[in-house]
Amino acid sequence: MKKQLVNNALFFCTLLIPFISIAQYPGQHLNKLSVDTKVPIKAYAFNLANVRLLDGPFKENMKRDEQWIMSIATDRLLHDFRVTAGMKVTSKSLGGWESMDSELRGHTTGHVMSALALLYASTGDSIYKNKGDSLVAGLAQVQMVLNQGGYLSAFPQHLIDRCIAGQQVWAPWYTLHKIMAGLIDMYLYTGDMQALSVAKKMSAWAYEKLRPLTAEQIAVMLKNEFGGMNDAFYNLYSITGNPKDLKLAEIFYNKKLLDPLAAKQDDLGGLHANTQIPKIIGEARGYELTGHTKGKDISDFFWNTVINTQTYATGGNSDKEHFAKPGQLSPHLTGYTQETCNTYNMLKLTRHLFCWTGDETYMDYYEQALYNDILPQQDPETGMVCYFTPLKAGVFKVYSTRFQSFWCCVGTGFENHAKYGEGIYYHNDKGVFVSLFIPSVLNWKEKGIKIIQKTNYPKSANTNLKIITKSPIEMPLYIRYPSWAVSGASITVNGKSIKIKQAPGSFIMLNRKWKNGDNIEVSFPMSLRLVATPDNPKIAAIAYGPMVLAAPMGKEGIVPPAPFSDPLKHDDYYTYDYKIPNKISNQLNISIKDYKNWIKPSGNDNSGDEFSIKDGTTGGVLTLKPFYEIHRGRYNIYWQFK
């Protein structure tokens, strides 16, 4: 993301803290919050520590994520903080957006703390907690040496002063949000009390900094991107009950964006997308803690607007990080679509809305984005991640470098691949929602029951669920019936077929007394479908079940030395040159009405998810395969039909 000043706000991606609002707390050290949820809840998130991934592509991504995070030295993550405090340093600064000439320096350290906390919860391995504790201890020392009323950052406080004055600066509150979010996560997921102490001191500094400002000064300050500061302060308030934390969250209410949304006005076209999404998550959190329905109204309207008018087939949004004119997506199939931070944050917002409603629609989107934008983000050879998921015909993914990039999407990427367990299962007072079909084990300790899910989904339409319990338990099991599963579904319990009364786009309820060893087989036959752009029904992606299919387009014109990793300076990332050969095209001389007649299973890998598509005029044949499997080469997703 290039440093561009538009309307006095520097635009780039952001992230928010892991979902803690109506989940059981992810650590035994916490008995309850100081502030209870004030709104009705239909589905509660499970403690992440109660879910373990089994072998499959998600666990493979998590392992590569672990290796990368652990390879980054703690001293390098603390380097810029220590320099700012005038402390002695013996390590080198990290590169890219973490270099000493970057005004965003320090944001990655916050992301890494969050990722380490998530990895500890996801695996139980203390190596991640220990590294996180070391980062917290180092930051506490910096905060003490700075001795500025609790201020803590890798840049001097005058960057905040420039932001308040409306002067050009690269989003200092954004970075402080990442640091606070990481500290809160370390407290919630690992029980690090020092992390909570440091976060409280940061909040005390912020309160004294902002308390004297007029409404006009606040409005000027909020023109600059501030990430999810409102969400961070709401979450801190939920822990502390301190009314000053609540006041700080309310200070970061951005009227210019939020008031029109509350009035159900869509003014999103042209706005920097990920400047806005975290603000909505903060309002969703505020609704949960205060009961004020304005936050709910804003969240509902924003989510539906973005999904219906701004979202590509893969679940991502934005072109060069900005929203399009409502519904006008076909002109925006470029090399700079789908900043993955946006998808990260839309998934956070989606979890809030699902918990309020239990509506399967939200999990349909969650699955769409998870399989087609988050899972494909990571390079399986190196573990590096991409910033954009480009959609122009013939592009390829450009991945980060291990120690030199540290874009915003690297930071959210650290978290994306550390927390796959958080969206698979939910519960109400009675039973379990099986929302995603990912190999995993759920341990619902309070009920004395385990669910082992084994599946090769989405390579296979089948999922197996096995019940483990010491004594029989009567409990409903709610199994998601995806809206794309128009070919029906089948379920057997211990080999006996179960009649399904529900329709696609709902949850199938199995209510019975479960015994140890009970076996549930679920199948959702997959079929081909088109996902067209809202403004042009003849420009469409091809999907099979939950998977968006893409055509590999070879490697012609991709020239070493750095064809798939970012060789550019951190302020030149919009200059990707894909060098797309002229012969590559997304034109198909096929009528959109009978597209299925030209797409046939190829069966090359015996998985049932690979197809060939034959152009009706030229006779040329292309292979179609799941997009998440395509790496280090050109591809195409959207097609122009007749």
pLDDT of 21: 43
Alpha carbon of 535 to those of 308, 325, 391: distances in Å?
11, 10, 16
User: Is 19's pLDDT higher than 90?
Assistant: no
Nearest to 629 by CA among 549, 541, 542, 530: 549
User: Is 337's pLDDT higher than 60?
Assistant: yes
Alpha carbon of 90 to those of 93, 186, 537: distances in Å?
10, 26, 59
pLDDT of 12: 24
pLDDT of 89: 96
User: Is 632's pLDDT higher than 80?
Assistant: yes
pLDDT band at 574 (very low <50, low <70, confident <90, very high): low
* Rounded Cα gap, residues 282 and 248, in angstroms: 12
Q: Which residue has the tokens 């690979």?
A: 610
Kindly state the average pLDDT of the residues 88-99.
94
* Rounded Cα gap, residues 252 and 282, in angstroms: 9
3-state helix, strand, coil in the chain (%, to 5): 40, 20, 40
Task: Please provide the DSSP assignment of 380-442 as one string.
Answer: TTT--BBSB---STTB---B--TTT---HHHHHHHHHTT-GGGGTEEE-SS-EEE-S--SEEE
Alpha carbon of 240 to those of 88, 203, 204, 507: distances in Å?
34, 11, 12, 37
Kindly state the average pLDDT of the residues 309-330.
98
pLDDT of 609: 80
pLDDT of 560: 53
User: Is 11's pLDDT higher than 60?
Assistant: no
Provide the residue type at 424 as one letter.
Answer: I
Nearest to 312 by CA among 515, 518, 152, 533: 533
CA angle 561, 566, 570 (to 5 degrees): 130
**Mutual angle of helices 57-71 and 107-123, in 10-degree steps:** 130
In terms of C-beta density within 10 A (0-12 exposed, 13-18 middle, 19 or more buried), how is residue 24 classed? Answer: middle
Beta bridge pairs of residue 541: 531, 638
* Rounded Cα gap, residues 128 and 190, in angstroms: 9
User: Is 13's pLDDT higher than 60?
Assistant: no
* Rounded Cα gap, residues 236 and 189, in angstroms: 14
pLDDT band at 33 (very low <50, low <70, confident <90, very high): confident
Question: Peptide bond before 561: cis, by omega within 30 degrees of 0?
Answer: yes
pLDDT of 532: 98
User: Is 30's pLDDT higher than 70?
Assistant: no
pLDDT band at 233 (very low <50, low <70, confident <90, very high): very high
Provide the residue type at 10 as one letter.
Answer: L
Nearest to 295 by CA among 342, 257, 262: 262
* Rounded Cα gap, residues 542 and 546, in angstroms: 11
Show the tokens assigned to 306.
């973005």
For residue range 132-185, what is the model confidence (pLDDT) as tens digits? 999 999 999 999 999 999 999 999 999 999 999 999 999 999 999 999 999 999
Average pLDDT, the chain: 92
Nearest to 267 by CA among 252, 256, 277: 256
For residue range 256-297, what is the model confidence (pLDDT) as tens digits? 999 999 999 999 999 999 999 999 999 999 999 999 999 999
pLDDT of 2: 36
CA angle 538, 540, 545 (to 5 degrees): 135
User: Is 27's pLDDT higher than 70?
Assistant: no
Percent above pLDDT 70 for the chain: 91
pLDDT band at 577 (very low <50, low <70, confident <90, very high): confident
* Rounded Cα gap, residues 101 and 109, in angstroms: 16
- The enclosing H or E element of 462 equals strand 462-469
Domains, the chain, ranges and CATH? 5-423 (1.50.10.10), 432-455+462-523 (2.60.40.1180), 528-640 (no CATH)
Task: Please provide the DSSP assignment of 493-529 as one string.
Answer: ETTEEE-----SSEEEEEEEEE-TT-EEEEE----EE
Kindly state the average pLDDT of the residues 388-404.
94
Residue 128 CA to its chain's centroid (Å): 21
* Rounded Cα gap, residues 356 and 336, in angstroms: 34
pLDDT of 607: 57
* Rounded Cα gap, residues 44 and 112, in angstroms: 26
* Rounded Cα gap, residues 345 and 84, in angstroms: 30
pLDDT band at 377 (very low <50, low <70, confident <90, very high): very high
- The enclosing H or E element of 464 equals strand 462-469
Count other C-beta atoms under 10 Å from residue 148's C-beta.
14
pLDDT of 617: 63
Kindly state the average pLDDT of the residues 214-230.
98
pLDDT of 22: 47
pLDDT of 558: 83
Q: What is the DSSP letter of 328?
A: -
